[in-house]
């Protein structure tokens, strides 16, 4: 990611990375607001899902109660 920023192809918010080459980029520490990311899982409604996928989907849904947007 830092190589893309260093090549003038945009900006990025990244976690702390030890030994990051800072020779072509500028870094600014973000303190507030707290950063977060949204991770989504998608699947075909009528598509085949292996038992492992079904178990993983159930696992995520049980732990995401209250934060899932349907």
pLDDT tens digit sequence for 10-22? 888 888 888 888 8
Is pLDDT of 70 > 60? no
Is pLDDT of 68 > 60? no
Q: What is the mean pLDDT of the chain?
A: 83
- N-term to C-term CA, the chain: 31
Residue 10 Ramachandran class (φ > 0 left, ψ -120 to 50 alpha, else beta)? left
Q: What is the 3-state secondary structure of the chain?
A: CHHHHHCCCCCCCCCCCCCCCCCCCCCCCCCCCCCCCCCCCCCCCCCCCCHHHHHHHHHHHHHCCCCCCC
Is pLDDT of 1 > 60? yes
66: confidence class by pLDDT, cuts 50, 70, 90: low
Cut 0.85: pTM above it:
no
């Amino acid at each position: 990611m830092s190589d893309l920023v260093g090549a003038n192809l945009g900006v990025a918010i990244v976690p702390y990375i030890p030994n990051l080459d800072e020779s072509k980029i500028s870094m600014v520490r973000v303190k507030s607001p707290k950063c977060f990311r949204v991770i989504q899982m998608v699947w075909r409604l009528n598509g085949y899902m292996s038992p492992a996928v079904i178990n993983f989907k159930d696992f995520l849904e049980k732990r995401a109660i209250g934060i899932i947007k349907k």
